[in-house]
Amino acid sequence: MALILTEEEQLLKTSASELFKSKAQIAALRKLRDEKDPLGYSKSLWKEMSNLGLAGLTISEAYGGLDFGYVGLGQVLETCGRTLVASPLVSTVLLSGTAIQLGGNEAQKKQYLPGIASGDSIFAFAMDEGKHHNPENCNTKITNNLISGNKTMVIDGHVANYFIVAVKDEKGISKLVVVNAKNEGILVEKIEMMDSRNLANVRFENVKVEDILDSYSSSTNLIENVLDVARIGLAAEMLGGIQEAFSRTIAYLKERRQFGVPIGSFQALQHRAAEMFGEIELCKSVVIKSLKAIDNQSDDLPKMASLAKAKLGETYKRVSNEGIQMFGGIGMTDDEEIGFFLKRARVVQHTLGDTNFHLDRLAKMKKY
């Protein structure tokens, strides 16, 4: 398992990159924000992405997907991260698609996956119940196929056709269930976030459940496994943002002149840039290795996921902070785009566990 991309994966990355270059620059995100778009993403772009097969990359061919694997999805997510593309890729494909693929039985897969692969169904994954990610904190209950509880930070919750909801049954066992968004008793409140994307707080009051995902060895493991896959996917997205913010900063250091010289000729800035370069080299390695760990169903998945999310979170914070500082006053303006990376860095940091959460998890894995 060499840590390089296959030709097909490289090709996929290039074609995603070309699509986003023409249709989804940061200006597109700015437009969604300034127009207070009710969806928070472009339907036509999502249609084009789906037509390219991006929504079905990780879905088996039997259910309308391309069975391309997570290394491939990771390349697309990384490319999204470069221009901060807003789309249902994370909510629907990375989180929910993975959950159904891993935990659904044959009938469930047949029912839900083709809609995901075609881009027609939007799924939201409702996991957390507080301001901090904590899978152990689950007070949403299921009784007689009805669920009740409050979920927070639900990505794309305001536009979902279906919810996948983490609940506990009467015995306290965790489950993932599928809920149709049209069912009665669902109260969705859209929250506009700093990164100009949307989360939702979702309240379920005796809502009927369509399906329980129960084709996995243990449902607790199912949830952890889905979360780990998604953490790695987010790390791939972060890698794109980090590289883009860094290369914009380096370009600015070469271009901006002060005291008659380019500011990139100042050694103090050079050393900080060189150190960041090194951290980014590390980021690249952990992202590709952890993506491969998904496709290879490695036992190391939890460790790899936490390494990736912890390291990328730390580095995105550093690189986005340095970006603003090195751009100086210009970096503080809304007109300049570097600030968008700072904003995204913080929101994605607090999605599915921040650096601290994962460092703690790594220590616990090794019992220290």
Partner 1 sequence: MEATADKKDLKKFRKETREWLDANCPESMRQPITGPEDVYWGGRNGEFKTPDFKIWFEKMHAKKWIAPHWEKQYGGGGLDRMEYKILTEEMSRLGCRKPLFSFGLSMLGPALLKFATEEQKIKYLNDIVDAKIRWGQGYSEPGAGSDLANVQTKAEDKGDHYLVNGQKVWTSYGEKADMIFCLVRTDVEVPKHHGISFLLIDMATDGATTRPIKLISGKSPFCETFYDNVKVPKENLIGTEGQGWDIAKYLLTHERQMIGGIGETHVPTPVSDIAKKYLEIKGDVMTDAVLRAEIAKFEMDEAIFDMTIERVIDEAKAGNNSGALSSFFKFYGTELNKRRYEIMVACQGIDGLAWEGEQYNHGAIAKQFLRTKGNSIEGGTSEIQLNIISKRILGLPTR
Residues that bind a copy of itself (CB under 8 A): 266-268, 270-271
Q: How far is the CB of 367 from partner 1 (least distance, A)?
A: 4
Residue 153 tokens read as 């930070």
Q: What number of other Cβ atoms are within 10 A of residue 40's Cβ?
A: 24
Of the chain, the end-to-end C-alpha distance in Å amounts to 31
Q: Under 8 Å CB-to-CB from 60, ≥6 apart: which residues?
A: 67, 101, 109, 113
DSSP codes, 352-368: S--HHHHHHHHHHHTT-
Pick one of 39, 102, 146, 347: the residue that binds partner 1 (CB under 8 A): 347
Pick one of 143, 192, 205, 208: the residue that binds partner 1 (CB under 8 A): 192
Residue 282 site contact among a copy of itself, partner 1, none (CB < 5 to 8 Å, cut-off depends on kind): partner 1
Pick one of 31, 110, 208, 364: the residue that binds partner 1 (CB under 8 A): 364
Q: Identify residues 274-303 at the interface with partner 1 (CB under 8 A).
A: 274-275, 277-278, 281-286, 288-289
The strand ranges marked E within 87-136 are: 123-126
Residue carrying the six token digits 């995902």: 213
Q: Identify residues 134-173 at the interface with partner 1 (CB under 8 A).
A: 152-153
Of 51 and 325, CB closest to partner 1: 325
Q: Under 8 Å CB-to-CB from 205, ≥6 apart: which residues?
A: 148, 185, 186, 187
Q: How far is the CB of 303 from a copy of itself (least distance, A)?
A: 26
Choose one: 13-21, 104-112, 206-214, 263-271; the region binding partner 1 (CB under 8 A).
Answer: 263-271
Of 49 and 345, CB closest to partner 1: 345
Q: Are 126 and 199 in contact (CB under 8 A)?
A: no
φ, ψ of residue 195 to 5 degrees: the values are -85, 15
Residue 106 site contact among a copy of itself, partner 1, none (CB < 5 to 8 Å, cut-off depends on kind): none
Q: How far is the CB of 31 from partner 1 (least distance, A)?
A: 15
Containing H/E element for 324? helix 301-327
Q: What number of other Cβ atoms are within 10 A of residue 13's Cβ?
A: 17
* Residue 225 found at the interface with partner 1 (CB under 8 A): no
Calpha distance 110→105 (Å, rounded): 9
Long-range contacts of 12-17 (CB under 8 A, 24+ apart): 12/57, 12/68, 12/72, 12/75, 12/76, 13/75, 13/76, 13/78, 13/79, 15/52, 16/49, 16/52, 16/54, 16/75, 16/76, 16/79, 16/80, 17/79, 17/82
Q: How far is the CB of 209 from partner 1 (least distance, A)?
A: 26
Of 172 and 261, CB closest to partner 1: 261
Pick one of 58, 96, 140, 355: the residue that binds partner 1 (CB under 8 A): 355
* Residue 254 found at the interface with partner 1 (CB under 8 A): yes
Q: How far is the CB of 17 from partner 1 (least distance, A)?
A: 19
DSSP codes, 297-323: T-TTHHHHHHHHHHHHHHHHHHHHHHH
Of 82 and 309, CB closest to partner 1: 309
Residue 53 is given by DSSP the state T
Q: How far is the CB of 88 from partner 1 (least distance, A)?
A: 19
* Residue 239 found at the interface with partner 1 (CB under 8 A): no
Of 110 and 271, CB closest to a copy of itself: 271
Q: How far is the CB of 273 from a copy of itself (least distance, A)?
A: 11
Of 102 and 273, CB closest to a copy of itself: 273
Q: How far is the CB of 317 from partner 1 (least distance, A)?
A: 8
Lay out the site mask for partner 1 across 317-336 (x = CB under 8 A, - = otherwise). Answer: x---x--xx--xxxxxxxx-
Of 168 and 350, CB closest to partner 1: 350
Q: How far is the CB of 254 from partner 1 (least distance, A)?
A: 6
